[in-house]
Amino acid sequence: MNTSQAVRIPEHLAVVLALARLLHRLERSTEPVSPDQYRVVVDRLVQALREAPVDDGLRAVLQLFPDTAQLYENLNYQHAGLCRSSLEASLAAELLAREAIGNAARVTGGSSHLHRRNP
């Protein structure tokens, strides 16, 4: 049984879709990617995402391409925070970051306010 469904992306998102596919390929490339090429793709995708209406088509593109979804979320962080990330994933990332900062502080002999405990 085939449970996949075809997703129809509206024509007004053709550029976003093409750039999202390209970013996806660049991110997963086994060959070295030119930093300039990567930057151009990301810059163009950022511009396309800023111009794209927030609709079901855009949400479908973001669902299909996690790298583009992460970029979109970063672009809109000041307005909505981690709006596309699950709360559990965000919390887990924060806890891992705190642990890594604490470990780095211990290794370098520095102190971290994140691990201070009240008596």
| 79-62-85 Cα angle (round to 5) | 55
- At 97, the pLDDT band (50, 70, 90 cuts) reads confident
Structure tokens of 59? 């949400």
Sign of CA dihedral 52, 46, 96, 24: positive
What is the residue extent of each domain of the chain? 1-84, 86-119
Unique residue bearing structure tokens 């111009």? 51
CA distances to 7, 10, 38, 56 from 4, in Å: 9, 19, 30, 18
Q: What is the pLDDT of residues 20-63, one digit of tens each?
A: 999 999 999 999 999 999 999 999 999 999 999 989 899 999 99
pTM for this predicted structure: 0.61
What pLDDT is attached to residue 90? 59
Q: What is the pLDDT of residues 64-94, one digit of tens each?
A: 999 999 999 888 865 454 455 554 665 677 7
